Every structure is written in C-alpha cells, then in structure tokens.
Amino acid sequence: MHIPPLRGACLGFSGDDQVVSLHIPAAGEDEQAPPRYSFDLEYDVDRPSNLIIRLLELDQDSFICAVQRSISFPVSLLADLVDRRKATADEMAEWQAIPDENA
C-alpha cells in the first residue's frame, strides 16, 4: 500500500511569534481532493504541562468547521516518544494485559 506524503503540515504562531501549535492535514481517500480532516496539536493554556490533540473537520475551502474529538495528555508522553524511551516492566505488563479485540 502506497501512502502519499502529507502536504501542508504547518506551525501555528501566537501574536508574540511563539510556536503554539502544529497543524497536520489527514490524508483522504481521494489523493487529488483536499483533506476533509486534520489534526491540531497545541499546548494546553490551562495546563502548560499538557498538550491537546484535536481532530478537526474541514469544509470545502479547507477552513475548520467543527472539532470532532479532543484530548489533553501530558507533554512527557510525547517527549518519551521522541526520545524512543524503552518501556518499563510495569508499562509492558499493563500493555500485555489489555485483551486482544481480534481474538
């Protein structure tokens, strides 16, 4: 399966020129049409140690028309991913205890 590279990922800036978000268009089924959804990752203003990821629905002109889902999570989780940290024994045990939905 060939997955085309995402185009149009960009940073969002605040009025004082600080990076506050990362906007990533989601690849659609029709590669020629503009994506209908995108993701927005930004710092949580109320809790600076957290990030918020949002699934956004876009209109035909690629403007945001709705927020479909939103979740806040600790910045440290993203830092662990970037650092490629090894899972702890407790984390592995928790992950392995989750039932397989396909079984």
Q: Is the pTM of this model over 0.75?
A: no
For residues 58-85, give the mean pLDDT. Answer: 85
* pLDDT digit string, tens, across residues 21-66: 888 888 666 666 667 888 888 888 889 899 999 998 888 777 788 8
Q: Average per-residue pLDDT in the chain?
A: 79
Q: Where are the domains of the chain?
A: 10-96
DSSP 78: H
For residues 75-94, give the mean pLDDT. Answer: 85
Q: Is the dihedral of CA 82, 84, 90, 96 positive or negative?
A: positive
Q: Can you give the three-state secondary structure of 9-54, one letter per residue?
A: CEEEECCCCCEEEEEEECCCCCCCCCCCEEEEEEECCCCCCEEEEE
Q: pLDDT tier at 71 (50, 70, 90 boundaries)?
A: very high
